Amino acid sequence: MHNAAGTQILTLTGLRFDANLGILAHEKTAPQPIQVDAELNLGTQPLRPSDDDILHVLDYRKVRQIIIDECRSEHVNLLESLIGKLAQRLMQLPGVLGVRVKIAKLEIFDDCEVAIRVETGQW
């Protein structure tokens, strides 16, 4: 079982921060809270890395920062535009075969969460 392998998925769930997003007047002047969930398909990986070195895996600290930076880089009107941009950026990361990402606006309605989910690449 020394070279056993399995599909590896990196997930970040419930990442909350403020982003400049929306078409309404107050949305254009003030950031609003969003929540991002992301899954990155890293494909077949050995169950045990050949060594215990962070340099040989996708660092989830970098993934977290990229999500925040992409969503904050400029004001976008549409959630659809933002999630598309983010999905494309995550697909460019080394070793990533597929991306699932969901962005929710947290303060739109009192009685429900509004979100969009995109899946791209290999799953």
pLDDT score for 63: 97
pLDDT score for 3: 75
pLDDT score for 54: 73
Query: For residues 120 and 98, is the Cβ–Cβ distance under 8 A?
Result: yes
- Radius of gyration (C-alpha) of the chain in whole angstroms: 16
Regions of the chain short of the pLDDT cut 50: none
Give 94-109 pLDDT, tens digit per residue.
999 999 999 999 998 9
**Which residues, in sequence order, are CB contacts of 85 under 8 Å at separation 6+?**
70, 76
